[in-house]
Amino acid sequence: MAVTHIEGQIYLSLQIQNEEMPESPNLISVISINESVMQMTPVMQFTFNDMGNSLTRKLALTEGTKLKLLLGKYKESAIPREFRLFGFKQVPTREGPKLAANFIIDAPKYISGSYTEAFDGTSSDAIAQIASRCGLRSDVTNTSDQMTWLNFGQTRAAFAEDIAMHGYINDSSCMYRALTSEKVLKYKDAMSELNTGKVKVTLGLNSIEGEADQVIQVRDIRDVSVSGAMNNWVNYGWKYPEHSLSGEEQLHSEYTAQTSGQYLPINSEIKGELDGARIEYCPKLDCRNTHKNYNKAYYINLRGKALLSERLHLLIEEPSNIQLLDVVEFRHTEADGHTGKATGKYIVTAKVTYIKNGSAYFEKLEICRASLKESGNTPLIG
């Protein structure tokens, strides 16, 4: 088995098709594992320096080859991840072949198979059942949207996303579905997690004295806002009328935002001048076979996701075990001792795990929230 072990920093081992890999110098060039709430599945790009030609002969990589990766800070806490080869590119070099291989998570019943099936219950019940049928673990928040969920020939990955977009708890919910590299299918209300969820990890920029064991130090940060694009898309006002068999049209035009922050990232002056930024008629007819908030759920989930426009991109240098849709706290102390404006609770929406030459280890995290602590002299909705 190919093993990289730097005491107290990183432990990494590899298996191909459950076989140990022969030792080879400089085998690992780059590993990049990408996870996001916007992706159907986690993906990994693995660049090998195959100086011993083991990956082109005895353990020849081909379509669907299974790779098992054991990764962590210590051997005892290393977490297994299983992937399948999706495609690769091979470049000949003087030292031997160099392979850039692309992998997807090993869950073909979730990603590749198309099914015709029904799930009776809430959306959280349906997603938990999908996870069970696909050999995945589930971590779901209970919802209030009882109906029979019908899959007409979609992959379960696509169907789970469709369920999540029409999942409903209340008028303030914002449902997200995500599959992690640990093969956990998560289904959470992002707004509820931000407001009441337990903080898993604290991330600190600049040293926080006396808390070295509880705080992961951040090496670099990018403070990013996409509120302008999101507001001009839906959050300056979106009118979404839907057909009803009662003969009375239902209009969805409001999202009840609940946040612990003082301001929403929406300019009140601009919003006050507009009658709305988007008008769209719901294309789904009322056939009386969905839960009563089916189309309303689509509306509020999209509004909620658009509101999560305040983002931080963080770089850390150690295995964190932070997963998608976990709640984290970010603390920033400025040079003059003041608390940074980005300090607060966030939800994790993307993660990239990056290893170079089998030794240098980084994680890049995207964390989001729906509020601001300071408005300056700009009029924001409070």
CA 11 → CA 25, 42, 80, 379, distances in Å?
17, 21, 11, 50
Return phi, psi of residue 280, to 5°: -145, 130
Q: What is the value of pTM for the model shown? A: 0.93
Q: Which contiguous run of DSSP H or E holds residue 226? A: none
Q: What is the pLDDT of residues 58-117, one digit of tens each?
A: 778 889 999 999 988 888 888 899 999 999 898 888 777 888 999 999 999 999 999 999
Domains of the chain, first to last: 2-104 (2.40.10.10), 110-189 (3.55.50.60), 193-226+309-369 (2.40.30.150), 232-303 (no CATH)
Query: How is residue 344 written in tokens?
Result: 């607060």
**Distant-in-sequence, close-in-space partners of 306: CB < 8 Å, separation ≥ 6:** 230, 231, 233, 234, 235
Residues 318-335: b if buried by 16+ CB within 10 A, e if exposed: ebbebbbbbbbbbbbbee
Q: Which residues of 70-86 are buried (b: 16+ CB within 10 A; e: fewer)?
A: bbbbeeeebeebbbbbb
Give residue-wise pLDDT tens across range 308-347: 999 999 999 988 889 999 999 999 887 777 788 889 999 9
Task: State how far the Cα of 12 lies from the Cα of 4, in Å rounded to an integer.
Answer: 5
pLDDT tens-digit series, residues 243-283: 988 888 899 999 999 887 889 999 999 999 999 999 999 99
CA separation for the pair 349, 178 (Å, rounded): 9
**Least trusted range by pLDDT, from 21-35, 185-199, 288-302:** 21-35
State phi, psi for 244 to the nearest 5 degrees. Answer: -140, 140
pLDDT at 375: 83
